[in-house]
Structures are given as C-alpha cells and as structure tokens.
Amino acid sequence: MNFEHYISLAKLTAPFAIDSSWGQGRSVFGGLSAALVLSHIEAQTGLNDKDLRSINVHFCAAIISEENCQLNYQVLSQGKSIYQIQGQLLQNGQVKTQLMACFGSARESNAIIKQSNATELPAVNKGFKFPYLKGVTPELVQKVDMRLTSKDMPFSGSEKSEVHGWMRFEDQPNTFSDAGILALIDAWPPAVLTTLQQPAPASTITWNIEFIQPRQYLKKEDYLYYDCQVVQAELGYAHTEGRIYHPNGELLALSRQLVGVYDKSNKVKAL
C-alpha cells in the first residue's frame, strides 16, 4: 500500500495495520508513523487550515508490521493564535510514537527578516538513485525516490559525516502535504553512518522539525532537497542538523535528530 493509502486511514478513528513493505529494521518506518499521527491530528481537529510551525517526535518503541495501530490526540493548549496538540500511535496499549505539534495562525508583525538569496542546488539528474538491496537496505527504500548528491554511502568509512540529495515518493501523492515532507525527511539513512566501516543498526530517538512559513507551492512532481550534517557523535549517539529546500532553492524546514548508533564496539569514528 502506498503513502496516500495510509494517510487516508489515519484521518479516521478505526484501528489499522501497516504492511511489512514499510519496514525499517525491526520496526515500521518512523517517518511514516510520525506522518500518520500528524494527519490524524489535522483531520480530527480541523487545524489543517493553520500553519504547522514545529513538531517534536519521540520514537518510543518498535512498531510491528501487520498488527493493528491506534491513533489518538489531545489538545494541550488553544490560544488566539497558537495551538499545541499531542498525538500518539499505539499498539496493544503501548505508546510507540509520541508527537507534539505546534500550529500558529499568521499575525501582523514588524519582525520581518526575509531569507537570503535562494541556495543554488545541483540538478536532480546529477544525483545517484539510492538503491534497494533486498536484505541489506530497509524495505521502505522501495517507497522513496532518493537521489544522492553527496559522495559517500553508509558504511563507507568516510571522513565526511554528511548526506544530501533529492527526495520524493515513488508513488507521489496528489498533494505535497506537511505529513509527506515529514515522512520523506526521515527516510534518509542517518548521516553518521557514512563514517562507519561496516553495517550497523541506527535509529532516530528524538526529532525536532520546524517548518518555514509562508512557502512556495509544491507541485506533485517536485523533488525536495535534503542536506544533513553530523554536529557531534560519541558513546553510541549522534546529533544531526538538516535543512530541507524547495526545488527553487528556498528553505522549507529545519531538522534536528538524536540518533542511536548500535555498532558492536559502540564506538563511532571520530568526526
């Protein structure tokens, strides 16, 4: 089933299962679970007409494919312009993904700082399509079209701890929603993995993303550009910072992640 199918289910209240084609290691892809919770919040509260400003995500436990999930939400505060809402994805009563979303209505303000000139991005056709290798790469790689423009692949023992490239779904939804952007960002392998010399598990533990508003319209066929670097890594954890760009080079979102690295020696190559 494609991304749009699950988003349509998330807008309802009935439990549903996620098939194994969205697998990532021993769990369902975390970016999908975050997108589902966000879509549920927007549909159930009617806040999809407000600007999404920030999201904080905690991936609390592995989501088991082919088992029913339940989505819920709670409005924590509702002011004149700011709305803060908590949402969860649960299985068997256990919280698997916890999300806090902040929506903000536009207000008049004298604080106006425009973005600098748009960033010059490489052409999409210059990117190397991230391959799906059965038993090696996660199943979800079949769902996302990632065009790598950075030089180093995961586990290549590189001295550079960065990942950048273009992204969109293989089966692109008709609308390029915030939930879609959220899922795409988390599809990339953690940038720290380029520094390792052999395969090792890694997973996002916490994730903060801020959406830039207003923004240019995104067409169905557009790719987004992802640019992520490791700020620091040691003792089995890595801190990363990413930027997401509109195809015209304008900044769309800022992303920060705490990543757990589970290589055998529990040591990450010095960055």
Domains and CATH numbers, the chain: 3-106+122-261 (2.40.160.210)
> Burial of 1 by CB count in 10 Å (0-12 exposed, 13-18 middle, 19+ buried)?
middle
pLDDT band at 271 (very low <50, low <70, confident <90, very high): very low
Q: Which residue has the higher pLDDT, 118 or 111?
A: 111
Question: Residue 25 corresponds to which tokens in the numbers above?
Answer: 């290691």
Question: Residue 97 corresponds to which tokens in the numbers above?
Answer: 């993904």
Q: How far is residue 79 from each of residues 123, 132, 195, measured CA to CA in Å? A: 43, 46, 45
Choose among 46, 29, 73, 47: nearest CA to 182.
29
Please state, rounded to an integer, the average pLDDT across all residues of the chain: 92
For 227-269, how does the pLDDT look when each residue is reduced to its tens digit (9 = 90+)? 999 999 999 999 999 999 999 999 999 999 999 999 865 454 4
Note the pLDDT of residue 138: 86
For 113-146, how does the pLDDT look when each residue is reduced to its tens digit (9 = 90+)? 887 777 899 999 999 999 988 877 888 999 999 9
For 53-65, how does the pLDDT look when each residue is reduced to its tens digit (9 = 90+)? 999 999 999 999 9
Note the pLDDT of residue 268: 45
Q: What distance in Å separates the CA atoms of residue 143 and residue 172, rounded to the nearest whole number?
A: 9
**Which DSSP state fits 191?**
G
Question: Residue 136 corresponds to which tokens in the numbers above?
Answer: 């090696």
Note the pLDDT of residue 255: 97
The secondary structure element, H or E, covering residue 242 is strand 237-245
> What percent of the chain clears pLDDT 90, i.e. is strictly above it?
77
Choose among 151, 183, 152: nearest CA to 167.
183
Local structure of 206: helix, strand or coil: strand
Q: Judging by DSSP bridges, how do beta strands 94-104 and 237-245 pair with one another?
A: unpaired
Local structure of 147: helix, strand or coil: strand
Mean pLDDT, to the nearest integer, of 97-110?
A: 92
Mean pLDDT, to the nearest integer, of 56-79?
A: 96
Is pLDDT at 46 greater than 80 in this prediction? yes
Note the pLDDT of residue 258: 97
Is pLDDT at 174 greater than 80 in this prediction? yes
Q: What distance in Å separates the CA atoms of residue 130 and residue 167, rounded to the nearest whole number?
A: 10
For 175-205, how does the pLDDT look when each residue is reduced to its tens digit (9 = 90+)? 899 999 999 999 999 999 999 999 888 999 9
Question: Residue 77 corresponds to which tokens in the numbers above?
Answer: 């505060």
Q: How far is residue 72 from each of residues 9, 64, 103, 205, measured CA to CA in Å? A: 13, 18, 17, 21
> Using an 8 Å Cβ cutoff, are 254 and 209 in contact?
yes
Is pLDDT at 102 greater than 90 in this prediction? yes
Note the pLDDT of residue 108: 86
Note the pLDDT of residue 264: 67
